[in-house]
């Protein structure tokens, strides 16, 4: 990392790189462009939970779908709290569906 990045930013990227859990989106790469850090995550083209609600379930998700999503989110959050001691930005837009998984994974944000 470049010296111009704050220690906190470098530590956050390091923490993201060391996380590995089936319910977390992996950080593929990071680099500095101008004065910004760019984080590269896999493409989750099926969208987020918010996208699902906006496009297909405007009246709300079925109870069994909510149960699966909440279970997977809690497993991911538990891992984050055990591994790095905290999580950030827990909202529907940060939980994305993968075609290779039947559940959602939180996109970790720095």
Percent of the chain with pLDDT over 70: 80
pLDDT at 97 over 90: no
Number of domains in the chain: 1
Domain annotation covers residue 62? yes
What pLDDT is stored for residue 106 in this prediction?
55
Domain annotation covers residue 55? yes
Domain annotation covers residue 86? yes
Residue 37 contacts residue 30 (beta carbons within 8 Å)? yes
- pLDDT, tens digit, 9 for 90 and up, residues 50-92: 888 898 899 999 999 899 888 988 888 888 888 877 666 677 7
CATH of the domain at 86: 1.10.510.10
Task: Give the separation between CA 7 and CA 9, rounded to whole angstroms.
Answer: 5
- pLDDT, tens digit, 9 for 90 and up, residues 28-49: 888 888 878 888 888 877 788 8
* Strands 104-106 and 95-97, sheet pairing: antiparallel
Domain annotation covers residue 2? no
Look at the pTM and tell me if it is higher than 0.75: no
**Phi then psi for 49, rounded to 5 degrees?**
-60, -40
Q: What is the residue range of 57's domain?
A: 7-106
Residue 42 contacts residue 105 (beta carbons within 8 Å)? no
Domain annotation covers residue 1? no
């Amino acid at each position: 990392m470049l010296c111009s990045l704050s220690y906190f930013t470098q530590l956050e990227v390091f923490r993201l790189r060391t996380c590995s859990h089936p319910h977390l989106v992996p950080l593929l790469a990071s680099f500095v462009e101008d004065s910004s850090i760019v984080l590269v995550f896999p493409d989750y083209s099926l969208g987020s939970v918010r996208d699902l609600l906006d496009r297909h379930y405007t009246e709300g998700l079925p109870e069994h779908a909510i149960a699966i999503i909440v279970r997977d989110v809690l497993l991911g959050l538990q891992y984050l709290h055990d591994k790095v001691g905290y999580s950030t930005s827990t909202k529907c837009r940060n939980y994305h569906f993968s075609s290779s998984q039947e559940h959602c994974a939180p996109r970790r944000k720095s």
